[in-house]
Amino acid sequence: MWLRLVKLLPWRTIIATTPKIVDAARTLYEARRRAAPPPEFRGSARDDSTRDLEYALATLEEYATRQAAVVAQLAAQVEAMTGAIEIMRRRLALALAASLVASGLALLFALVAFFRT
């Protein structure tokens, strides 16, 4: 089942778009990391609900920054994985070609040995 799913993936498209995904993730992470802190509230009547909202907003911004970092890490891992998959694909093609050549030579030698006797 998993093999069928893996075969259905458009690997060439994934490999071709991986650098764009990594760049977008890095840009997102850098933008979130460099985001300016929210302006300080300077009102005289600062109530608890305003402080609670500011705390919730700061928490959400910190969460978004951490998520951007995770996305950047995942994109880097996907980039490394697709590179490794591409190398494995090339090695598999080379091994397949070598096995076909070896099989052909074995068949040729078997035929030569059969007809010599």
pTM: 0.50
For the chain, give every domain's residue range. 14-35+52-116
Tell me the DSSP string of the chain.
Answer: -HHHHHHHS-HHHHHHHHHHHHHHHHHHHHHHHTPPPPPPP--S---HHHHHHHHHHHHHHHHHHHHHHHHHHHHHHHHHHHHHHHHHHHHHHHHHHHHHHHHHHHHHHHHHHHHH-
Q: What is the mean pLDDT of residues 97-111?
A: 96
pLDDT number for residue 99: 97
Cα separations (Å) of 51 from 13, 25, 61? 48, 32, 15
Rounded-to-integer distance, Cα 45 and Cα 9, Å: 58
Q: How is residue 12 written in tokens?
A: 């060439």
The more confident residue out of 24 and 114 is 114
| pLDDT score at 96 | 96
The tens digit of pLDDT for each residue in 46-70 reads 677 888 888 888 888 888 888 888 8
pLDDT given for residue 102 in this prediction: 97
Chain centroid offset of residue 57 CA: 30
pLDDT at 1: 63
Identify the band that residue 83 occupies on the pLDDT scale cut at 50, 70 and 90: confident
Residue 45 has pLDDT above 60, yes or no: no
Tens of pLDDT, residue by residue over 108-117, are 999 999 998 7
Predicted local confidence at residue 24, as pLDDT: 78
State the average pLDDT for the chain: 81
